């Protein structure tokens, strides 16, 4: 999932593959666009986290050791695998948070009109806590905010039928 989100983010951050959105989702006019980085660091972050998650997908059983005076010829490494799985999930959750922020930025760059009801609900609930990125700023707090909103059930995902 992290790999898919990372690739989608890469496509979203390039004018030629995003349907005309500005490179790096920079929300500046043409005169000073090149002096701002927009979501460039966010894309780099997502790629780095994705690479780390993918690195962790190697089977832990490949590192099985003979133990207990060779009484246990090979062990499953299940506890290590479980801890690594949790780490991969945390990394993927962070990549998803970056993805949500980028998608909301893209909607705002298109005028704020999310046509899909669920997209509108998500964007509107996020914008109560995180503003559009209009000038370079720290975005680590934005990621933390998305994660907290999601974990506490405050990030609206909307319903398919459009009901509140």
Which pLDDT does position 65 carry in this prediction?
75
Mean pLDDT of the chain: 88
Which pLDDT does position 35 carry in this prediction?
67
Distance CA 32, CA 22 (A): 13
Answer yes or no: is 162 within a domain: no
Which pLDDT does position 66 carry in this prediction?
75
Instruction: Tell me which of 153 and 69 has the higher pLDDT.
Output: 153
Answer yes or no: is 159 within a domain: no
**91-134 pLDDT, tens digit each:** 999 999 999 999 999 999 988 776 788 888 899 999 999 999 98
**12-62 pLDDT, tens digit each:** 999 999 999 999 998 877 676 666 789 999 999 999 999 999 999 988 877
Domain CATH number, residue 40:
1.20.200.10
Which pLDDT does position 64 carry in this prediction?
78
Which pLDDT does position 126 carry in this prediction?
95
**49-81 pLDDT, tens digit each:** 999 999 999 888 777 777 777 777 777 788 889
Q: Give the model's confidence band at 11: pLDDT under 50 very low, under 70 low, under 90 confident, else very high.
A: very high
Distance CA 78, CA 86 (A): 12
Burial of 30 (C-beta count, 10 Å sphere; 0-12/13-18/19+) = exposed
Which residue from 119, 107, 134 is spatially nearest to 35, judged by alpha carbons?
Answer: 134
**Residue 73's domain spans which residues?**
2-151
Total structural domains within the chain? 1
Answer yes or no: is 70 within a domain: yes
Answer yes or no: is 62 within a domain: yes
Which pLDDT does position 100 carry in this prediction?
96
Answer yes or no: is 163 within a domain: no
Which pLDDT does position 70 carry in this prediction?
76
Answer yes or no: is 161 within a domain: no
Answer yes or no: is 157 within a domain: no
Answer yes or no: is 30 within a domain: yes
Task: Report CA torsion sign: 74, 80, 82, 85.
Answer: negative
């Amino acid at each position: 999932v992290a790999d898919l989100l990372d690739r989608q983010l890469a496509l979203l951050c390039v004018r030629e593959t995003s349907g005309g959105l500005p490179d790096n989702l920079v929300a500046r006019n043409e005169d000073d666009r090149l002096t701002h980085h927009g979501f460039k660091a966010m894309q780099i972050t997502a790629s780095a986290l994705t690479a780390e998650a993918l690195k962790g997908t190697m089977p832990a059983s490949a590192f099985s050791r003979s133990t207990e005076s060779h009484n246990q010829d090979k062990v499953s490494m299940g506890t290590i695998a479980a801890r690594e799985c949790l780490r991969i999930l945390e990394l993927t959750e962070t990549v998803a948070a970056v993805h949500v922020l980028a998608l909301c930025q893209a909607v705002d760059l298109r005028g704020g009109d999310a046509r899909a009801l669920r997209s509108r609900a998500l964007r509107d609930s996020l914008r109560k806590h995180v503003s559009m990125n209009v000038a370079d700023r720290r975005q680590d707090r934005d990621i933390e905010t998305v994660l907290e909103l999601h974990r506490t059930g405050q990030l609206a995902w909307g319903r398919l039928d459009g009901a509140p």
